[in-house]
Amino acid sequence: MSSQPASSTSTVVPPVAAVKPSGAFARLLADHWAMAGAGVAAAFVLLAVFAPLVCRITGSDPYTYDLGALTGSGLPRGAFGGVSATHWLGVEPQTGRDLFAIVAYGARISLLVGIGSTLLATLIGTALGVLAGYSGGLVDTLLSRFTDLTIAFPQLIFMIALGALVPASFPRQFFMIAAIGVFGWPSVARVVRGQTMALRNRSFVVAARVVGAGPRHILCTEILPNLASTITVIATMMVPGAIGTEAALSFLGIGVPPPTPSWGREISSAIAWVAVDPWYLAAPGLALFLVTLALNAFGDGLRDAFDPRLTGKGR
């Protein structure tokens, strides 16, 4: 567990920057799955950013009740959960709120938390990974044990529990970014540690050390730039998982409070209606599935193009 395959082969194969970026970009562009994933993900980002603008087309928003779109028993009027010219994805039962607007605004929370927590996890993971890989010895042993422990930890249980300590006035999205980020760093740390160990003994680093460069110079100008592509790939591959965790927290009622739209909470509300209005589940469920699948496809393509030696998700 402590020795990555990447580090053991490093003496033979230059581990980082062995792939020319121009060739890698060409490979990425030729990967249809990855490009389709990038397209879908970009569409969701645009939808999230321009949610108010897009919703103006249909004249809907995620907060206004539309009881006219419901039958007497609170179910959507019309086929497919009330799909119509004004309600593209149908309406929420009981309230008649527009599901397209809910999905569009819900994408804001999903992407904000997904990307924000990934950035935090990448920052922590890079710092600890470089520290472990560069220091070696006892520091490395302790940090690696800590990394293993964090990976195996019942993270979701801890995140729920930590929710009790955060005052109600603190924005929930920032709590989720912190919680997911603080538990998400091990996969970054493991890879960065392995790569740093491999780089530490490469001739250009040794040369820098010989001419008297300090650890700070070696880390910032010799090692970190060479890790950039690996870290980018790992970070991209982490985003869909972070989005899934956000949705899970919201599903369990620990996410942003209503009425702020959130996919996970919408899926949770759909449980009560799945027997009579299964279409209610389709809009938030498909949005979550699509964005996760798209980001997974893009992340896999990015890895194959830039860093084919990385395998798995390093969960």
Partner 1 sequence: MKITRFLLVKIAGMIAVLLLVSLAVYLIFYLTPADPARTECGRVCTPAELVQVRAFMGLNEPVWRQYLDFLGAIFAGRSYGSGAGAIACPAPCLGYSFQQHQTVLSLIGQTAPVTASIALGAAVLWLVTGVAAGVVSALRRGRALDRAVMATAIVGISVPAYLVGLLGILVFGFKLNILPVSGYVPLTQDPAQWAFHLMLPWCALAFISAAIYARLTRSQMIEALGEDYVRTARAKGLRESRVIGRHALRNVLIPVITLFGLDLGALLGGAVITEKVFSMYGLGALLIGAVATTDISTIAGVTLLAAVFVIVANFLVDLVYKLLDPRV
CB of 264 to partner 1, least distance (A): 9
36: Cβ contacts below 8 Å, ≥ 6 apart: 294, 297
For partner 1, which is the closer residue by CB, 60 or 250?
250
35 binds partner 1 (CB under 8 A): no
Alpha carbon dihedral 267, 272, 274, 278, in 10-degree steps, equals: -60
301: Cβ contacts below 8 Å, ≥ 6 apart: 28, 31, 33, 34, 35, 37, 38
Q: Which of 51, 69, 233, 247 binds partner 1 (CB under 8 A)?
A: 247
Whole-number Cα distances in Å, 63 to 66, 95, 100, 261, 279: 10, 9, 12, 8, 20
For partner 1, which is the closer residue by CB, 19 or 290?
290
CB of 133 to partner 1, least distance (A): 20
Q: Which of 154, 169, 210, 211 binds partner 1 (CB under 8 A)?
A: 154
For partner 1, which is the closer residue by CB, 20 or 315?
315
Phi-psi region of 162 (alpha: psi -120 to 50; beta: other; left: phi over 0): alpha
CB of 281 to partner 1, least distance (A): 6
Total residues interacting with partner 1, rule: CB under 8 A: 40
CB of 93 to partner 1, least distance (A): 15
Give residues 122-151 in contact with partner 1 (rule: CB under 8 A): 149, 151
Give residues 226-245 in contact with partner 1 (rule: CB under 8 A): 240, 244
Site track for partner 1 across 275-304, x = CB under 8 A = x--x--x---x--xx--xx--x--------
Q: Which of 25, 50, 80, 158 binds partner 1 (CB under 8 A)?
A: 158
For partner 1, which is the closer residue by CB, 134 or 251?
251
Give residues 162-201 in contact with partner 1 (rule: CB under 8 A): 162-165, 167
Positions touching partner 1 (CB under 8 A) are 1, 149, 151-158, 160-165, 167, 240, 244, 247-248, 251-254, 267-268, 270-271, 274-275, 278, 281, 285, 288-289, 292-293, 296, 315
